[in-house]
Amino acid sequence: MRSQSNTTLWGTFFFALLGLVWCGYLSFPTANPAPCVSSGCILFRDFRIAGVSLWWVGGAYFFLLAILSIRGNRYAARTLAMLGLFVDVLLLIIMLFTVPCFDCLVAGAIIGLCYYTTLRPAQDSWFVGREVTPSVLLPVWFGLFLGNSVLAVNEQIPLHALGNTRTSEIRVFFSPSCKACREAVSALGNTAALYPVMENERDFDAILRFSALLKADIPAHEAMLRSMNENEPVPLLALHEWGILRLQLLRNRAHLLRQGFRAVPLIQINGWPGEQPSSQRPAIPLAHEIPVSASPPVPHEEQGLAVPELPRLDFLADPDALEQCAGDRQRNRDGSCN
């Protein structure tokens, strides 16, 4: 008859198999669609240890843990699970200072469950009699895991955008009370996604007016001017809508500060506006593929290459328009920027 110490650890065995399947799935990214919903997967999915994929190492770890669990070797399985949890703590610290990885968090949760199922109630419980014997590793891991999970969820919450929200090629962070911001919105508002930022309390009403005017198909430049008119009616919001909008505007400002920017307007361009997908671009021969006797290169227009036209930013040539509404700026008596 097998002793209690050699009893098969069915819980650990089940979670080890689950981890093996998860790591095996992620080991072949070209054959399987990426389940990741956070940007950290791009950073960590191809991470290698001594040239070996992290997911292959994880698969070998879960396979060995499953063998020890089915054989009932509790001490060895618990030691291996503790080692995996310690390594995951280090990875969670790295992600906390970089970016969370959803795939890694799933694998980490499985490691945590594997470790938990190997604990012997008589020796590793939080309370033994009246004496408290906490296990340090598990609470530390759980705190780091919870922090990374919150960051991963926060990354999926979209910022509050106005205007042309279908495109992310051009993004403008602006404050209505900032002169340069109003110029930027007037120039780019019809082609960009606009992210309002509150610089003062007057901005809140202006943002409400601006959003309502855009929904009424008013051009961005006209809506921007009318939003600063205090005689323009302010849309009424329910209490919960008012609170949600306040939080969304706070998220926009927090996003701006996290990127290291304290001044607005902030104009971000992703790629090249109007650029064709790579599969639709005309093929251009490389320099070493052109024969020496080839004729001079033909201008882009004759080759059928359409160079996208960016919106004009003439206001940037005006030194007065370059004033940034942040930091040690001068304000008018009404609180607006000069």
Domain spans, the chain: 4-156, 162-273+311-322
Give which of 214, 210, 194, 201 is closest to 246, Cα–Cα: 201
Residue 10 main-chain phi, psi, to 5 deg: -65, -35
> How many CB atoms are closer than 10 A to CB 124?
15
C-alpha radius of gyration, the chain, whole number: 29
Does domain 4-156 match CATH 1.20.1440.130? Answer: yes
Count of positions (residues) in the chain? 338
Note the pLDDT of residue 316: 47
Report the 10 Å Cβ neighbour count for 112.
Answer: 19
Q: Tell me, what's the pLDDT at 272?
A: 67
Q: Which phi and psi (to 5°) does residue 158 adopt?
A: -70, 155
Cβ burial 1-22 (10 Å sphere, 16+ → b, else e):
eeeeeeeebeebbebbbbbbeb
Write the CB contacts of 293 (distance below 8 Å, at least 6 apart in sequence): none
Cβ-contact 315, 183 below 8 angstroms? yes
The answer for 18, left when phi > 0, alpha when psi is -120 to 50, beta otherwise, is: alpha
**Position 287: which residue type?**
A
Q: What gap in Å lies between CA 278 and CA 267, rounded to an integer?
A: 25
CB atoms within 10 A of CB 145: 20
Question: Residue 171: what pLDDT?
Answer: 87
Bridge partners of 268, per DSSP, are: 171
Q: What is the C-alpha separation between 312 and 141, in angstroms, rounded?
A: 52
Q: What pLDDT sits at residue 5? A: 53
Tell me which of 2.60.40, 3.40.30, 1.25.40, 1.10.3470 is the CATH number of domain 162-273+311-322.
3.40.30
* Residue 45 φ/ψ, nearest 5 degrees: -70, -35
| pTM > 0.85 | no
> What single-letter DSSP state applies at residue 31?
T
Query: What pLDDT score does 287 carry?
Result: 43
Burial class of residue 324 (count of CB atoms within 10 Å of its CB; 0-12, 13-18, 19+): middle
Decide if 264 contacts 197 (C-beta within 8 A).
yes
Q: Is there a contact between 38 and 104 (Cβ–Cβ < 8 Å)?
A: no
DSSP assignment of 232-244, as one string? SPPPP--HHHHHH
User: Is residue 209 helix, strand or coil?
Assistant: helix
pLDDT at site 126: 42
Q: What is the pLDDT along the chain (338 residues), one digit of tens a residue?
A: 444 456 788 889 999 999 999 998 888 765 555 566 677 777 777 778 777 888 899 999 999 999 999 998 888 999 999 999 999 999 999 998 888 888 899 999 999 999 998 886 544 444 344 443 446 888 999 999 999 998 888 887 888 888 776 666 888 899 998 888 888 888 887 788 889 999 888 899 999 999 888 888 888 888 888 888 888 888 888 898 898 899 889 888 888 888 888 888 888 887 765 555 555 544 444 444 444 444 444 444 444 444 445 555 554 444 444 444 544 444 444 444 54
Is the Cβ–Cβ distance between 64 and 123 less than 8 Å?
no
